[in-house]
Structure 1
Amino acid sequence: MAVNPDKLTALDVMRDAPVIPVIVLHDVAHAVPLARALVAGGIRMLEVTLRTPQALQCIEAIARDVPEAVAGAGTIRSASDAQASVLAGAKFGVSPGYTSAVGKACRDLGLPLLPGVATGSEIMMAQEDGYQQLKFFPAMQAGGLPMLKAWQGPFGDVTFCPTGGIHAGNAAEFLALSNVACVGGSWIVPTDAIQQGDWARIEQLAREATQLAR
């Protein structure tokens, strides 16, 4: 599927592949080979979390050197995070929670956002601000499959990307739900594989992830 990163929507991000990798990078030198390995395995939407001092540089490197990838910024918690992410080249954002200030900042910047929610009230707040595609986080700790099933009734118009505790062994169960478009997970970007530069392993994990049924 052809995706224009400059006309991206949150739904485009969610529907591109069954899994959005949740990436934590401590070394800028790892960013480009990691992104290339994921793209080779069929994963293009890459969430680089703003959890390390190097994260923005990593997003910048991927945006510059891996045009087939779509670099996104995770752990957006403020308007300044959103602004810095866009300046670094991020084409979408993901937040661990939701505030109207973050939602407005991303909208003003033209940055598609997957806001994090864990309760019905948070879903309603995000919907009031026009967000229908949401990240359910932390998915397992906040109720997992039973919670998503319960939300199908009152929030049947919302599409979720559950993240947090998702792995190869349970991802298919989440993807089978009608209100789930994709899952977020770190299992396809294991820390040891990144540190060892085992890009072939990461490519294979990405390839396996694309085969998960939705």
Structure 2
Amino acid sequence: MIDRILAKRIVPVVVLDDAESAAPLAEALLAGGLDIMEITFRTAAAEESIRSIATSFPEVLVGAGTLLTPEQAQRAKDAGAVFGLAPGLNPEVIKTARAAGLEFSPGVMTPSDIEAALSLDCKLLKFFPAGAAGGPGMLKALAGPYAHTGVKFIPTGGISSANLADYLALPVVAAIGGSWMVDKKLVAEGKWDEITRLTKEALAAAS
């Protein structure tokens, strides 16, 4: 999973209100060259959307985001998610995800958060909310005392095509999480060609 994330360096953060949109969205991302996506557990359609993509598009590395409880982590795994993420660090969620065989990246923002994650043997971490927490400057500062541990970050929150290069220039950043190429309005209006175009543009910028 980490190798595939490192290869693309972009994880689209998807919020789906209708599971019927899952398949055409996966097709649009694949057409743009991206075979990874995170579907957040913020809506009732999340679980069915993950199941749909896992079943119909086995070539897509599908993950579940905003996993706030152990029960959500188990449901995400049962639906076919290969990886999970959360905005914060909950040891019980990490424990459940690990027992279920779900690769999991807890959210961190401070040195104490990072040390808590390392104590639980988590080294691929979501840095959230990236923009509000200091952006690339904060990550560069955190890299000083922690890069040697092997920790890597997926900053999410406030990232766009305009600033993704600033994050990806940091060796401690594995990938960025962004939603501009899968904006809810684009999905709701079925603008799949535009999503494909934005995806290609983002991948070109990331490379």
Alignment TM-score, normalising by the size of structure 1: 0.92
Q: Report the alpha carbon displacement of residue 18 of structure 1 after superposing the two structures with TM.
A: 2.0
Q: Which residue number corresponds to residue 129 of structure 1? A: 120
1:200 aligned residue = 193
Deviations 1:139-161 (A, max 9, x none): 01111111101011111131111
Runs (4+) of structure 1 exceeding 6 A deviation are none
Taking the aligned partners of 1:32 and 1:12, their CA distance within structure 2 comes to 24
* Aligned residue in 2 for 1:177: 170
In the aligned structure 2, how far is the partner of 1:119 from the partner of 1:14? 23
What amino acid maps onto 1:183 in structure 2?
Answer: I
| Partners of 1:116 and 1:134 within 8 A in 2 | yes
Equivalent of 2:60 in 54, 69, 84: 69
Provide the C-alpha distance between the structure 2 equivalents of 1:114 and 1:206, rounded to a whole number of angstroms: 23
Q: Is the 8 A contact 1:41 1:207 kept in 2?
A: yes
User: What's the Cα RMSD here?
Assistant: 1.1
**Aligned counterpart in structure 1 of residue 181 of structure 2, from 185, 188, 191:** 188
Q: How big is the shift at 1:13?
A: 4.7
CA offset digits 1:64-85 (Å, max 9, x no partner): 1122212110001111011000
2:51 aligned to 57, 60, 69, which one?
60
1:93 to 84, 96, 107: 84
Give deviations 1:22-55, integer Å, cap 9, x for gaps.
Answer: 0000011100000111011111111000000111
1:132: how far off?
0.8
2-side partners of 1:12 and 1:129: how far apart? 21
Superposition pairs of residues 1-214 of structure 1, within 5 angstroms: 8=1, 11-156=2-147, 157-213=150-206
Contact 2:164 2:206 in 1 (8 A): no
Q: Aligned pairs, how many?
A: 205
State, as a whole percentage, how many aligned pairs show the same letter: 44
Q: Which runs of 5+ in 2 are unaligned?
A: none
Distance (Å, rounded) in 2 between the aligned partners of 1:210 and 1:107:
30
CA distance in 2, matches of 1:36, 1:95: 25
> Would you tell me which structure has more helix in proportion to its own residues?
2
User: How far is the alpha carbon of 1:12 from its aligned partner?
Assistant: 2.8
Q: Is the 8 A contact 2:10 2:206 kept in 1?
A: no
